[in-house]
Every structure is written in structure tokens, then in C-alpha cells.
Amino acid sequence: MLCTQVVLAQHSKAPHQHDHAELLIVAQSSQLQIQLRSPAANITGFEEIAQSPQQQRAVNRAKQILLTKNLFKPEPSDCESDSIDADFSSLDSGAEHHAKHEDDHDQDHDENHADVIVTYNYTCKRVAELESITTQLLTNFPAITQLNAQWVIGSRQGASTLDNSRDKIQIR
């Protein structure tokens, strides 16, 4: 499994901004990893533990969409989805007990600024030849008006910004 820790270390203190999300993309050898980090409000419409049936439905809908293997399409398309790891702990009622044991300041910060983090892992036959990645995130989550993507593919790196008129990250 690839590790995005180097890239994440640079962004762990990134400002929490509603309507913005970020993608961190790392590829090495035959492994491709895409990580989505978004304020929960962009994904579900709220940032606290789901209390009502309506909020729980929003969390379930988000999970259903975010845990699909075809949310991202690397081109050339010789990549196979290996796994998807998701952290919805800031929204799931099952995480409530754990959150109560945290420091009050941290708990307030987490509840007011909840994020959804999803990591997509792929194995690709020709990762060095990756030209682009298309995503359906903006179509499925219109509250995200700006998606900032940063990528490191082998020795190449770059960044691009997607919006509702642009859904493709051009790597080459």
C-alpha cells in the first residue's frame, strides 16, 4: 500500500473551508493512491454526529457513493481498484462514545470542523504512463465547488483545480 504521509504532512493543517475539498494523489511502482479530504458539510450537509433519520440517510448516501470503485477513472484505464478506506467517524453515531473521551477542546474542534477522509488504492499496469484521472465527485457532491488536486507520479508532480465545469485532472 502506498503511503501519502509525506503529502499529508504538508496538508494536515490546511484550513477547513466549506465548498472546497482536496485530492492527494501518489503513484509509485504499480501502486496508485488517491485520498479525498473534505469538510463533512460538503458531503452530507452537516458536520456533527448524525442524530436524525434524515442525517443518517445523508451519511448512508455519502458512504454508498464514496465507497464505489468507479468514482475515479485513471487513464489509461489499466488500473484495478484494490481497496477503499473511509473515515466517517466524525459523523457516525457509533463514534460518539469514543469522542466523549477526548479532550473538550479537541472534541469541540472536531465537532465543529468534521472532515471525511477516503483513500482509494489501485494497482496499475502502467502507472508511469498515467495521463489523467476523471472524477465524479463534483457531480455527486455539488456542495464542493472547488476540488484542489495535488499529485506526485514517480518523479513528476503537479496540481490542478477542478470545478463544476472541469472534472479531469490532467497529468500529462
pLDDT at 52: 94
Q: Decide if pLDDT at 158 tops 70.
A: yes
Q: Decide if pLDDT at 165 tops 70.
A: yes
pLDDT at 93: 67
DSSP readout, the chain? Answer: ----HHHHHHHTT----TTEEEEEEEEETTEEEEEEEEEHHHHHS--S---SHHHHHHHHHHHHHHT-TTSEEEES--EEEEEEEEE-TTT-GGGHHHHHTS-HHHHHHHHHT-EEEEEEEEEES-GGG--EEEE-HHHH-TT--EEEEEEEETTEEEEEEEBTTB-EEE--
Please write the tens of the pLDDT for every residue from 43-95.
Answer: 999 999 999 999 999 999 999 999 999 999 999 879 999 999 999 988 886 54
Percentage of the chain exceeding pLDDT 90: 67
Q: Decide if pLDDT at 168 tops 80.
A: yes
Q: What is the CA radius of gyration of the chain?
A: 16
pLDDT at 15: 55
pLDDT at 154: 86
Please write the tens of the pLDDT for every residue from 107-141.
Answer: 444 446 789 999 999 999 989 899 999 999 999 99
Q: Decide if pLDDT at 1 tops 50.
A: no
Lowest mean pLDDT of 5-14, 26-35, 120-129, name the range.
5-14
